[in-house]
């Protein structure tokens, strides 16, 4: 069976510090991968998605970047965090080519102080 892991579960970082959140998927190959952010008001917004190693598409301009160094690894990064980067970050994957359903990780709660 397929599983998705995100870590850390919670993170408190000072403004201006760097960020690295990691997501890995097991039990499948060549998945589509996604990063979402859920702000305090509940809505989820798609930040990045990837259809393969080194292929990243950004949905919204922001202070964050994403990378996919391996087939089942997706990393969300920032060089200098802003207060507005606080939120709940969720990684998700979907199968290819039958890209019907997306499965989410348990999320990382990031608080920038």
Partner 1 sequence: GEDVEQSLFLSVREGDSSVINCTYTDSSSTYLYWYKQEPGAGLQLLTYIFSNMDMKQDQRLTVLLNKKDKHLSLRIADTQTGDSAIYFCAESIDNQGGKLIFGQGTELSVKP
- Residues interacting with partner 1, by CB under 8 A? 6, 32-34, 41-46, 49, 90, 92-94, 99-107, 109
Instruction: Judge contact between 94 and 31, C-beta under 8 A.
Output: yes
Nearer to partner 1, 32 or 78 (CB): 32
Write down the least CB distance from residue 45 to partner 1, Å.
Answer: 8
Write down the least CB distance from residue 100 to partner 1, Å.
Answer: 4
Write down the least CB distance from residue 96 to partner 1, Å.
Answer: 10
Instruction: Judge contact between 33 and 22, C-beta under 8 A.
Output: no
Write down the least CB distance from residue 58 to partner 1, Å.
Answer: 12
3-state SS, one letter per residue, for 67-103: EEEECCEEEEEECCCCHHHCEEEEEEEECCCCCCCEE
Nearer to partner 1, 83 or 98 (CB): 98
Question: CB count, 10 Å around CB of 47?
Answer: 19
Q: Which residues pair with 14 in a beta bridge?
A: none
Nearer to partner 1, 17 or 55 (CB): 55
Q: Give which of 41, 24, 43 is closest to 103, Cα–Cα.
A: 24
Nearer to partner 1, 19 or 49 (CB): 49
């Amino acid at each position: 069976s397929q599983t998705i892991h995100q870590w850390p579960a919670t993170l408190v970082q000072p403004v201006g510090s760097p960020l690295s959140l990691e997501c890995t998927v097991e039990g499948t190959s060549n998945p589509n991968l996604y990063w979402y952010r859920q702000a305090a008001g509940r809505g989820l917004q798609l930040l990045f998605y990837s259809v393969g190693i080194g292929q990243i598409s950004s949905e919204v301009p922001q202070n964050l970047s994403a990378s996919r160094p391996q087939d089942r690894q997706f990393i969300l990064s920032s060089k200098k965090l802003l207060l507005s980067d606080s939120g709940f970050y969720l990684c998700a994957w979907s199968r290819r080519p039958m890209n019907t359903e997306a499965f989410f990780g348990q999320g990382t709660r990031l608080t920038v102080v």
